[in-house]
Amino acid sequence: MLSIIITHHKTPVLLKLCLKSIKENIGELEYETIIGDSESDREVRAEIQEKFPAIKFITFKKNIGYAKIVNAGLELAKGEYILILNADIIILKGAIERLLNFLKERPLVGLVGPQLLTFTNKVQDSCFHFPTLGAILARRTFLGKLKWGRKKIEEFVVRPMWDTRCPTSNVGHRVSHMGHMSHISNMAVDWVQGSAMMVRRSAVEKVGLLDERFFMYLEDADWCRRFWQNGFEVVYLPTAQMAHYYYRSSQSRGGLFDLLFNRYARIHLISAFKYFWKWRGIKLT
């Protein structure tokens, strides 16, 4: 059975679209749906359950953060495979089946992420090299507009090319440089964005749950790194596509203004400090 965990925080319109897209594209798969609902609204829950009566809700009175919501869902989920989604994801045709079949056919893969598209059908950046201090500074400050900063961002983001001929790499052989990424379809990457990812339960049991010290941001990078640390591949699968209503709440005007006045930018920076401190001096082999 497949378990689907959806993280939701005050976007009921998007949540309804997400649920509708799952129902329309799940096919004959046996599945359960669990919604982790932050700052839960009783009326919204009642409306959702009237349309989708089989859904299980985990409700929270306040916004407890992504990691705690997902972990609550993981502890309740019964499936051998688990699809984790943000409520702003729309499932496209064949995506769930392709992710699921990919995991079933490749026992070394513990976590796989789809290609994310905007609602105008543009490819989003959703797979990355592990964060560096330079990349964080370039993405969070005016340094990203300089030649040095642009280079750091290019080194951080993975932008694979499309080709259906190339299989996934072996464990330990992640893509390490932009120049080595042409003409591949599925590829082992350092980490994929947590907005949409599928995991196998047996891998989670070995790796452990998400680190709840991260309220928001980089908990997905940390989790993927732990998958690699425990001998599992993390793979980006562009043949499985999902639409993502992406709003970058951690950046509004950019630079120091965000760090001073944007709450989400400050949370992002705090998460970066936690991430670098946690992984200081530790290298993957």
Domains in the chain, number: 1
Residue 283 lies in a domain: no
* Residue pLDDT tens, the chain, 285 long: 999 999 999 999 999 999 999 999 999 999 999 999 999 999 999 999 999 999 999 999 999 999 999 999 999 999 999 999 999 999 999 999 999 999 999 999 999 999 999 988 899 999 999 998 888 777 767 777 888 888 888 888 887 754 333 334 444 344 433 333 333 579 999 999 999 999 999 999 999 999 999 988 899 999 999 999 999 999 999 999 999 987 544 444 454 445 454 666 777 788 988 999 999 877 765
Residue 54 lies in a domain: yes
Largest Cα–Cα separation, the chain: 54
Residue 192 lies in a domain: yes
Rounded to 5°, angle at Cα 119 from 247 and 224: 60
Instruction: State the CATH number of the domain containing residue 105.
Output: 3.90.550.10
pLDDT reported for residue 177: 37
Note down the domain range covering 13.
Answer: 2-278
Residue 256 lies in a domain: yes
pLDDT reported for residue 249: 46
How crowded is residue 172: how many other Cβ atoms within 10 Å of its Cβ?
12
Residue 53 lies in a domain: yes
In sequence order, the 6+-apart residues with CB closer than 8 A to the CB of 89 are: 18, 21, 116, 195, 196, 242, 243, 244, 245
Residue 285 lies in a domain: no
pLDDT reported for residue 137: 77
Residue 102 lies in a domain: yes
Q: If you ran DSSP here, which 8-state letter would residue 179 be given?
A: G
Residue 238 lies in a domain: yes
DSSP string, 205-231: HHH-S--TT-SSSSHHHHHHHHHHHTT
